[in-house]
Amino acid sequence: MTITIIGAGNIGGTLAEKWKAAGHDILIGARNPGDEEILKWAQGIGARVLSIPEAVNKAEVVLIATPGKVVADLAASLGTALSGKLVMDATNMAGPLGSAPGFEALRKAGADAVKVFNCTGWENLADTRYGNDAVDMFMAGGSAEAKAKVTELVKAVGFAECYDMGGEDKVAILEGFALVWIDLAIFQKMGRGIAFKLMRR
Ligand SMILES: NC(=O)c1ccc[n+]([C@@H]2O[C@H](COP(=O)([O-])OP(=O)(O)OC[C@H]3O[C@@H](n4cnc5c(N)ncnc54)[C@H](OP(=O)(O)O)[C@@H]3O)[C@@H](O)[C@H]2O)c1
67 C-beta closer than 6 A to ligand 1: yes
Long-range Cβ contact pairs of 102-105 (< 8 A, separation 24 or more): 102/64, 102/68, 102/69, 102/71, 102/72, 102/75, 103/71, 103/141, 103/168, 103/171, 103/175, 105/71, 105/72, 105/75, 105/76
124 C-beta closer than 6 A to ligand 1: no
Task: Please give the radius of gyration of the chain, using alpha carbons only, rounded to the nearest integer.
Answer: 16
Task: Using DSSP, state whether 3 is helix, strand or coil.
Answer: strand
Q: Ligand 1: which residue has its CA nearest to atom 45?
A: 91
Ligand 1 pocket check: which of 4, 10, 40 to mutate, most ligand atoms within 8 Å of Cβ? 10
11 C-beta closer than 6 A to ligand 1: yes
- The CATH number given to 2-187 is 3.40.50.720
51 C-beta closer than 6 A to ligand 1: no
Report how many helices (DSSP H) and strands (DSSP E) the chain contains, helices first: 8, 10
Q: What is the pLDDT along the chain (201 residues), one digit of tens a residue?
A: 999 999 999 999 999 999 999 999 999 999 999 999 999 999 999 999 999 999 999 999 999 999 999 999 999 999 899 999 999 999 998 888 989 999 999 999 999 999 999 999 999 999 999 999 999 999 999 999 999 999 999 999 999 999 999 999 999 999 999 999 999 999 999 999 999 999 999
Domain ranges across the chain: 2-187
Task: Using DSSP, state whether 63 is helix, strand or coil.
Answer: strand
Query: What's the distance, CA 33 to chain centroid?
Result: 20
